[in-house]
Amino acid sequence: MLKDDNRHDGVLNGVETLENNDTSTLSNKPHSNKQLQGGVHLELPNVDITWDDDQLPREENIQQEVKRAMLEWRKLITNTLETQLGKQAQGAGPLAVVELWRERSMVLRTLVEQLQEPRVKRVSKLAGQLDPESLHGFEVVTVQLETAREDATDNFHLLSTLDRHFKKLAQGRDFGAIAETLPRLLEGLHLVWNISMHYKRGDHMEALMERIAWQVCESARHAVNMCTLFRDDGEER
């Protein structure tokens, strides 16, 4: 579940660094006021997590809270993946696709970084010892998360190399600027097609090319003055 960005108690803050031998409990640990990018948080169980690694805690409330936390994390990761993978670019041009990959990369990276937190690893390890079947399901979704993050990050970085060309097309108000941009843009697209596993698929590259074509047409529409286009040179302007 998604948590309010202003809530601090019980929320894992990704900018807070903790060591493996941290002896504090979550309930009395001060939290940073900084918000996690992406607004997606893994909530830790509100119990003492300083048990000895060689001896499982026997308290029923600790065991239940630990197992509940891992189930909630799994649900959060699954919901976040469904939301991000289901999002569509907000706009008709190619810049909207760059923004889509940027946001997806940021949100998924936030979750991946939280999963590397010592406290999260500690809780998931105990939960796996208490309920191995649940641990397997949790590991499946974390692999899916990492795969989606890598895909989003790679595509964002690759399309970012074309960002300046996309912007020139979007801002171009004369045919000269558009004509100058297109050859370099096509060279960049060829490189993306060779490198990206995502855009090597014909339908994905075709969709991107359609957005570029739309942007060229849109910029050309603004560059053409229909009132003067077919006037003779001798006519008054």
Higher-scoring residue by pLDDT: 134, 92: 92
Higher-scoring residue by pLDDT: 50, 24: 50
Each residue's pLDDT tens digit, 25-77: 233 333 332 334 557 899 998 877 776 666 667 777 888 888 999 999 999 99
Tell me the domain boundaries of the chain.
56-153, 161-222
Band of residue 18 on the pLDDT scale cut at 50, 70, 90? very low
Residue 105 predicted with pLDDT over 70: yes
Residue 102 predicted with pLDDT over 60: yes
Contacts of 135 by beta carbon, 8 Å cutoff, 6+ apart: 70, 124, 127, 128
Contacts of 187 by beta carbon, 8 Å cutoff, 6+ apart: none
Each residue's pLDDT tens digit, 119-154: 899 889 888 888 888 889 999 999 999 999 999 999
How many Cβ atoms from other residues are within 10 Å of residue 27's Cβ?
A: 12
Mean pLDDT of the chain: 80
Lowest mean pLDDT among 7-16, 57-66, 82-91, 202-211: 7-16
Q: pTM for the whole thing?
A: 0.77
| Exposed e or buried b per residue across 111-129, where buried means at least 16 C-beta atoms within 10 angstroms of its C-beta | bbbbbebebbebbbebbbe
Q: What is the DSSP code string of 21-65?
A: T----GGG----SPPPTTS--PBPPSS-----TTS----HHHHHH
Contacts of 14 by beta carbon, 8 Å cutoff, 6+ apart: 36, 37, 110, 113, 114, 117
pLDDT on residue 76: 97
Higher-scoring residue by pLDDT: 9, 231: 231
Band of residue 223 on the pLDDT scale cut at 50, 70, 90? confident
Residue 200 predicted with pLDDT over 50: yes
Higher-scoring residue by pLDDT: 105, 54: 105
DSSP 227: T
